[in-house]
Amino acid sequence: MTYTKRLPKPVVEQWDWQLQGNCRGQESAVFFHPDNERGPARRTRQAKAKQVCQTCPVIVQCRQHALRTREPFGVWGGLDEDERRAIFSKRTRQQHQPAA
């Protein structure tokens, strides 16, 4: 069992944006892939999730959260796992480039 007493307590101001998300009340299966999902089924599900994100009033906060926490799964802020991974890789490459 995980010992959670050392973890910081939730701060409403940091999480209240989630209450305004378009995804609130939606099936999580739209945003998170089931085991062994591949190809067209995955692309279709991700497109549906991203469509929900397009008009979301908190898309920026959601995306920032996913990038800040390096969220490994699901569609967050209109970005899927591969898109976030590409952003992380690009940042890493830029950090390791020699200064001009």
The tens digit of pLDDT for each residue in 54-75 reads 999 999 999 999 999 899 999 9
Quote the DSSP letter at residue 2: -
Identify whether the C-beta of residue 23 lies closer than 8 Å to the C-beta of residue 52.
yes
Largest CA distance in the chain: 50
Q: Is 49 annotated as a binding residue?
A: no
For residues 83 and 93, what is the distance between their CA atoms, to the nearest angstrom?
15
* Dihedrals phi, psi of 99, to nearest 5 degrees: -65, 140
* Structure confidence at residue 92 as a pLDDT band (50, 70, 90): confident
Q: Mean pLDDT in the chain?
A: 87
* Structure confidence at residue 20 as a pLDDT band (50, 70, 90): very high
Q: Is 95 annotated as a binding residue?
A: no
Enumerate the domain spans of the chain: 38-95
Read off the amino acid at residue 58. V
For residues 31 and 13, what is the distance between their CA atoms, to the nearest angstrom?
24
pLDDT of residue 84: 95
pLDDT of residue 32: 95
Q: Is 53 annotated as a binding residue?
A: yes
pLDDT of residue 30: 95
Q: Is 93 annotated as a binding residue?
A: no
